[in-house]
Structure formats: structure tokens, C-alpha cells
Structure 1
Amino acid sequence: MNLTVARLTARGLLGSRRGVLLLIVPVVLLLISVIGRSTSADKHDLAVSVLGQLGLGTLVPILGLVVGTGVIATEIDDGSIVYLLAKPLPRWQIITTKLTVAIGVTWAVAAVPMLAGGLILYGTQDGLAAGYFLGTLVAGAAYSAVFLLLGVVTRHAVVAGLAYALVWESLVGNYVSGAKTLSIQQWGLSVAKATANAGALDAKVALGVAVPLLIVVTVAATALATVKLAGLTLASDD
């Protein structure tokens, strides 16, 4: 990890309009949690709806998209990536540094508010808050890697990422049984279920399948992003 690259990446990400969005989304989740706590609805079902469907199902992939593409796509689009590539830094170090920043920011704006929201809505009962917290950690890391890869391979990373997050994850992955196995959201939910007390959550993908897939996708996306960035260097040199 290169500290200079990490500092510049974090400054560019948090100092832009993306930074405002990254603050608004978790605040909205916490406000909904506070309002939900004061209602007479069943607190378990409400927590599952807010943390599972809204949080892990919608807000986490969107935040992962904003952060994952934001750490590199903007630099590629405006051409400033050339200055970074001109430095004598291994391409894998650039990618892993940016991914580390992306994962850290995603955890801060997604996982921590999920834990806080869970505690507000349901306390420590059934390990529900801890389950969604851990599920968000692993899903957030995978989303960061996948969307970082999109930021390297296409100039339409945000559009492609939204299509994946909203169409595949939220629509196809939730309602088509065979597609659930290939959904980062469902993998995160499987980890959440394993952490919470038995019966507190329902996951469609077995933990023994979800964990290896999370690892494979995260590592593969990181490796491919490194290869593609190296190719971008060669194209610049031409």
C-alpha cells in the first residue's frame, strides 16, 4: 500500500460531490431506523426490512458503486491518471491501495451505520445487528473490488454499475432463484445469517458457497483491474 496514493485518493473521493452523497445516505438510514423504533410495527420484521432490503439490498451496493468507481474512474476520465502511472509504482500497488481506500470508506459509510441502525431498531437481540454488520463488511469489500474493476475497464462505469446493482442485485437476484447464487447481496446475507441466531434471518445461499465466492470475486476483480491498468499504461505509451 502506498500512503501518498491513499491520501490523494481519499482526498479526491471525499472532497467531491460524491463525498456529500456518502454522508447523506447513511444519515437517511439512521433517520429511518430512529423513526421505525417509535412505531408499533414488529421490530424484528422492521429491522429485516430496513437493514436487509433497504440497507444491504439497495444502499450498500449503491455506496459501493459510488466509492468503487470514484477512487479511479474520475482520474481515468479526466486523464489525470497519466500522472500517477508515470510514477515508478507497480500497477498492483496502485490498484490495491485504491481498493483499500474504497473498502475502508465503504465500511465507514455503510457497515458502521448498519450496525448503529440495527442497534437502534432491535438492540442486540438475536445478533441481528451484528449479523448485518458483518454481512455488510464482506459484501462491501466485494462490491468495492467489482466496481473498481468497472472503473478501469469502461468509461461508463457508473451506468454499468447501476445496471448491475439495480437490475441484477435488486431485481433478478432477489426474485430468480437460480440467480441468487451469483448475487453479492445474497452472499453477504448468508454471512449475516451465520452470525445471527438461528432462524433470525433467511438466506438462499449456503455459507459454504457464499464465502468462497466472495473471496474468488474480490481477488479476481482486483487481479483483472491490475492487468487492465497495466494495459492502459501501454496504450498511453503508444
Structure 2
Amino acid sequence: MYDPTVARLTYRALLGRRRALILFSLPVLLIVIASLVRGFTGVDDQVAADVLGGFALATMVPLIGVIAGTGAIGPEIDDGSVVYLLSKPIKRPTIIVTKLIVAIAVTMAFSAIPTFVAGLILNGNGQQVAIAYTIAALVASVAYAALFLLLGTVSKHAVVFGLVYALVWETLFGSLVAGARTLSVQQWSLAVAERVARGDLVSSDVGLPVAVVLLTGVTVLATWYAGQKLRSLTLAGEE
């Protein structure tokens, strides 16, 4: 269920000059913000949790997930170049799983590592805040990559829909509407992080068992459905 050639092509597409610039800019911005906040406020556990929760997890991680998830397959479908890949003797579920693995790896690398570094800058991992949010970023990366990879297979406007979900649903509605928070990858990942952090600096509106089930279910279902959509694409001459 993993093809090295597909993985290499996907990495090359995701880490091209334009996408790489965006991917690098968000972590750099987080590090800059963390450094400025540390300089102005000193070591403050609550401030560290606010910065990591408010920017890293709520904004940076889903945006990177949009770039990596939709970029792993969406452009190939949009410009028609996916037909060359589909013409190869590679099972279509293998293509989806391989692209998902690459999207997860890229999302994790560009979100979890900067989150940990920012946490160390902010409060030196006091109260396990840096590790807790790093784990949240890792967990969220999997679900986001699967969701946005699915969007890339079903819509030509995957980036737009992904941004709406990331910025409107997760960030805006997730912070204002209690019911929306329970249907949020961010809250599910926070439920995992809550078990790691000390005190009440990290909290979630969703219990851990429910969060694990939802994270797993969304990832599996999104991957399965993306595979089904790719199966439905036909090449000229196929019956």
C-alpha cells in the first residue's frame, strides 16, 4: 500500500518553490511571534499555552494541512496529469495511501517541530505545554491531511473549501459556538494533549475516548472515500 515512485513525485510537487515558500513562512512566523512574546512577557505558562493554542494549533496546523493535503493530489486532477499516474500498473488505493503518508509527513514536519521549538522559546516546556501542543499538532496532522486529501479528490476548489474549514469553522465558529467545537479536529487533538499537560493549561470540550474514535473514524473514512473517488476516474479507453 505504498509506492516509492508516487511518494517521490508527491514530495517533489509539495516541496516545489511556491508551496515550500508558504510552508516555511508559517513556522517562521510562529517562531518570530514566540520570540517577541517571550521578550515582552518573559516566561509565562498561560501565555505560552495561549500562543500555541491560538496560533500554532488553531491556525498554522490546519493551513499547512490544507497546503499539503490538497496539494498532494488536487493539482494533478485539475490539470489532467493524473491520467499518466493512473495509467501505470499501480492500484488506486495504493496511490491514495501513498499520497496520504506524504501529506501527513509534510504536515507533521512543518507544524509539530515548529510548535515544539516555539514552546521551548516561550516557557522552556514548563507544565509540559510544549510537548502537549506538539502531540496535538502531530495528531491533528493526520486527520487534517486525510480530510484535505479527500477535498483534493472531490473538488476543483479544494483549497478554497479547505481554507473555509480551517479559518471559518475551526477558528471562528470553533471559538464562538460550543456545538461547533465538538466537531473540530482542533478540539479532538486537544483532548489528547490534555492528558499530557500539567494543570489546566490545555483543555478540550471533547472527552479523550470520543476524540480518539472521531480522529480515527474521520481519517479512515476520508482515506477510504478518497480511494473510491479516484477509482471512479476513468481513462480514455477504459470501460
> Quick check: TM above 0.5?
yes
Whole-angstrom distance in 2 between the partners of 1:182 and 1:40: 33
Change (3 A) 1:22 1:76: same
Query: CA-atom RMSD, angstroms?
Result: 1.4
1:53 aligns with 2:54: yes
Change (3 A) 1:141 1:236: farther
Change (3 A) 1:154 1:87: same
Q: CA deviation at 1:170?
A: 0.8
Greater mean alpha carbon deviation, residues 34-43 or residues 55-64:
34-43
Change (3 A) 1:42 1:115: closer
TM-score, structure 2 length as denominator?
A: 0.96
The one-letter code sitting in structure 2 at the alignment partner of 1:68 is: G
Give the structure 2 partner of residue 199 of structure 1: 200
The one-letter code sitting in structure 1 at the alignment partner of 2:80 is: G
Give the structure 2 partner of residue 23 of structure 1: 24
Whole-angstrom distance in 1 between the partners of 2:172 and 2:9: 36
1:122 aligns with 2:123: yes
Whole-angstrom distance in 2 between the partners of 1:158 and 1:11: 19
Whole-angstrom distance in 1 between the partners of 2:173 and 2:180: 7
Give the structure 2 partner of residue 208 of structure 1: 209
Greater mean alpha carbon deviation, residues 125-134 or residues 199-208:
199-208
Give the structure 2 partner of residue 131 of structure 1: 132
* Misfit runs of 4+, over 4 Å: none
Q: CA deviation at 1:91?
A: 0.8
Change (3 A) 1:202 1:235: farther
Whole-angstrom distance in 2 between the partners of 1:228 and 1:236: 19
Which runs of 5 or more residues in structure 1 are unaligned? none
Whole-angstrom distance in 1 between the partners of 2:237 and 2:37: 53
Give the structure 2 partner of residue 97 of structure 1: 98
Q: CA deviation at 1:235?
A: 8.0
Whole-angstrom distance in 2 between the partners of 1:60 and 1:52: 10
Whole-angstrom distance in 1 between the partners of 2:99 and 2:23: 17
Give the structure 2 partner of residue 38 of structure 1: 39
Give the structure 1 partner of residue 87 of structure 2: 86
The one-letter code sitting in structure 1 at the alignment partner of 2:137 is: T
Identity of aligned residues (%): 51
Give the structure 2 partner of residue 77 of structure 1: 78
Contact 2:45 2:126 in 1 (8 A): no
Q: CA deviation at 1:129?
A: 0.4
